Amino acid sequence: MKKFLAILLALVMIFALVACTTEPAKPDEPAKTEAPAKTEAPAKTEAPAAPAADKTVYVMGPTPDHGWTAQAGAYAQAKCDEIAKEGTYKSVYFAASSGEEQVDQCNTIIANGDAAIVVMMALDDSAQAGQEALYANKIPFISFDRIIEATEKYAVLNASGDNWQCGAGIAYWLQKNGMKPGDTVVVLYGDNGTVCSRRQEGFEQFLRGEIDYNDKQSGSYHTTETWTQDQLNEVFNGYTVVCNWSADGAYGYVEQRFDEIVAKAKANGGNLYIYSMDDEMTFGVMNYLEAGASAETLADLEAMNVYISAIGGMQELYDVMAGSATQSELARKYFDDMMSMYFSPKMMQDVIGKGLDYLSGNWNYEVGSGEYQPTWIVDAGNVANFEGFQGH
């Protein structure tokens, strides 16, 4: 018995010594455990961008009044309404009547501090300062239709119809209808910006044999009767005028010079070619023939070969070509043929859509890139296939 008690006592002492080697956990402190492996602190992240609904897609363009630019503005406003209704972004259309006014609008956009992107149809080159301000404030912008060369490299995209092909198409068409070096040619510019300069470049490049004219309706064409630069200079240093995209501007010029032009063409083989760079200006010529030209000049004109171009897509001009307008008989009487390069103002909606692609990350363009939509000839032979915009 004593031996058993001695063994029991020894065991109790052993357990007591073991218990003393481990400090019990305090009631308000967890038991100590092995330290975890050291890890890096999470990297700091930038504050999240403002929700898209707090950002605005700004579109800048002309005051809707008449003609191609008015319709571009109307289409732009409709697209802005659609964006705002969808709700991902706010959207505002800023209409203006000058480039200077657009500079003020750019400063307003910068001050608002909510721009996601700006789609800008510059009205003239004085809008350059506005585009420079957008770039300086890291606001992405797309330049539409009128491309300002000084800021072209800053735009995330430069988009328009293919003005070079407009010029090439008219050169092809006039040459096909007999135009040769030395003939009497009238050139009606819209303005002195890139739209018309590129249309002139395309005209010259085609006739020098440097580019082809590609028509999605009928094929590709290359001239075999090339012109020299001196012969082209005679065209663009002759009967040329800036009409400010206006029927009245064209009317005023032909009112002053048409008797002289017709007399020269009559003495120069009886051929007259009118390179009008816009539907409105083509209407200006027809309006003069209808209301202002002398009987003698009209008689000479009727006896000559006369071809006139246009660019745009006004339904009113399509109606003339189709024979269903009040001026159709006048056009048939005094023009041997007429045409218009298709250049729809609805493309402005497509370009605004490009801006949404940019914001969604669906983007493969480098800054300063250009994208130019195809254009083609519309004349009496295919005019029934197209619906134009209402220009008046």
Q: Is residue 38 part of a domain?
A: no
Q: What's the pLDDT at 70? A: 85
Q: Is residue 18 part of a domain?
A: no
Q: Are residues 147 and 189 in the same domain?
A: no
Q: Residue 301 is encoded by which pair of tokens?
A: 């004109």
Q: Are residues 305 and 198 in the same domain?
A: yes
Q: Is residue 240 part of a domain?
A: yes
pLDDT in tens, 260-308: 999 999 999 999 999 999 999 999 999 999 999 999 999 999 999 999 9
pLDDT in tens, 338-385: 999 999 999 999 999 999 999 999 999 999 999 999 999 999 999 999
Structural domains counted in the chain? 2
Show pLDDT as tens, one digit a residue, over the chain (392 residues).
433 334 333 433 433 333 434 343 333 333 333 333 333 333 332 333 445 669 999 999 998 777 888 899 999 999 999 999 999 999 999 999 999 999 999 999 999 999 999 999 999 999 999 999 999 999 999 999 999 999 999 999 999 999 999 999 999 999 999 999 999 999 999 999 999 999 999 999 999 999 999 998 889 999 999 999 999 999 999 999 999 999 999 999 999 999 999 999 999 999 999 999 999 999 999 999 999 999 999 999 999 999 999 999 999 999 999 999 999 999 999 999 999 999 999 999 999 999 999 999 999 999 999 999 999 999 999 999 999 998 76
Whichever domain contains 133, its CATH number is: 3.40.50.2300
Distance CA 135, CA 151 (A): 9
Q: Is residue 332 part of a domain?
A: yes
Which of 136, 155, 174 is a domain's end point? Answer: 155
Of 377, 347, 372, 312, the closest CA to residue 162 belongs to 372
Q: What's the pLDDT at 273? A: 98
Q: Are residues 148 and 195 in the same domain?
A: no
Q: Are residues 234 and 131 in the same domain?
A: no
Q: What's the pLDDT at 63? A: 87
Phi-psi region of 245 (alpha: psi -120 to 50; beta: other; left: phi over 0): left
Q: Are residues 117 and 208 in the same domain?
A: no
C-alpha torsion angle, residues 136, 138, 143, 149 (rounded to 10):
30
Distance CA 187, CA 273 (A): 9
Distance CA 271, CA 242 (A): 23
Q: What's the pLDDT at 117? A: 98
Q: Are residues 66 and 142 in the same domain?
A: yes
Query: Chain-centre distance of CA 373, in angstroms?
Result: 9
Q: What's the pLDDT at 52? A: 64
Angle, alpha carbons 81-85-88 (nearest 5°): 110
At residue 287, the 3 state secondary structure works out as helix
Q: Is residue 356 part of a domain?
A: no
Which of 131, 155, 179 is a domain's end point? Answer: 155
Q: Are residues 77 and 112 in the same domain?
A: yes
If one counts every other C-beta atom within 10 angstroms of the C-beta of residue 35, the result is: 6
Q: What's the pLDDT at 1? A: 40
Determine the residue type at 288.
Answer: Y
Q: Report the percentage of the chain scoring pLDDT > 70.
A: 86
Q: Is residue 12 part of a domain?
A: no
User: Domain containing 308: what range?
Assistant: 163-344+375-385
Of 282, 278, 348, the closest CA to residue 64 belongs to 348
Radius of gyration of the chain (CA): 35
Which of 133, 155, 177 is a domain's end point? Answer: 155
Q: Are residues 215 and 279 in the same domain?
A: yes
Q: Are residues 172 and 236 in the same domain?
A: yes
Q: Are residues 184 and 320 in the same domain?
A: yes
Q: Is residue 43 part of a domain?
A: no
Q: Is residue 3 part of a domain?
A: no
Query: Chain-centre distance of CA 140, in angstroms?
Result: 15
Q: Are residues 169 and 306 in the same domain?
A: yes
Q: Are residues 94 and 215 in the same domain?
A: no
